[in-house]
Amino acid sequence: MSEIDYGPLRRAMDRLREALAERERLPDNDFVRDSVVQRFEFTFELSAVMLRRFLKTYSVKDGDVHDLTLPSLIRAGSENGLLLHGWDRWYDYRKARNTTSHAYDEVLAKLATELAPEFLEEAEYLYKRLVEETV
């Protein structure tokens, strides 16, 4: 049985999926767009947190996972087959997440909204792999 509760990531993905479905229904609604952006941000954060926890708990490699930078964390996740994409794509996700959380801008919000469906696939893959690896 897993020592890590992946429920928060699953719930975050559900919330992002819900916002994306609403975005399909109401593509010009700013409130819905903002919801997608916010849910993208916290799903991104939880994905990184869960990846770090998994590697810290189950990684066979030596070293302190806690001190890994995000690029190193993503590379370790990729090397362990836990991610669909490597740092090259995660860089884009992080950039979208950082720009929308620190300075709201219509163009940047649109970029995050456009990346959100792809990132949801990434998060779902990560979740599936984490659960499979710890069952």
pLDDT of residue 1: 44
pLDDT of residue 104: 65
Residue 23 lies in a domain: yes
5 φ/ψ angles, rounded to the nearest 5 degrees: -90, 110
- CB distance 46 to 9 below 8 Å: yes
Print pLDDT tens along the chain (135 aa): 458 999 999 999 999 999 999 999 999 999 999 999 999 999 999 999 999 999 988 875 656 777 889 999 999 999 999 999 999 999 999 998 887 765 566 777 888 899 999 999 999 999 999 999 987
pLDDT of residue 40: 96
CATH code of the domain in which 122 resides? 1.20.120.330
pTM exceeds 0.85: yes
pLDDT of residue 89: 96
What is the number of other CB atoms lying within 10 angstroms of the CB of residue 8? Answer: 13
Range of the domain at 27: 7-134
- Number of domain units in the chain: 1
Whole-Å CA distances, 128 to 34, 73, 107, 125: 27, 18, 32, 5
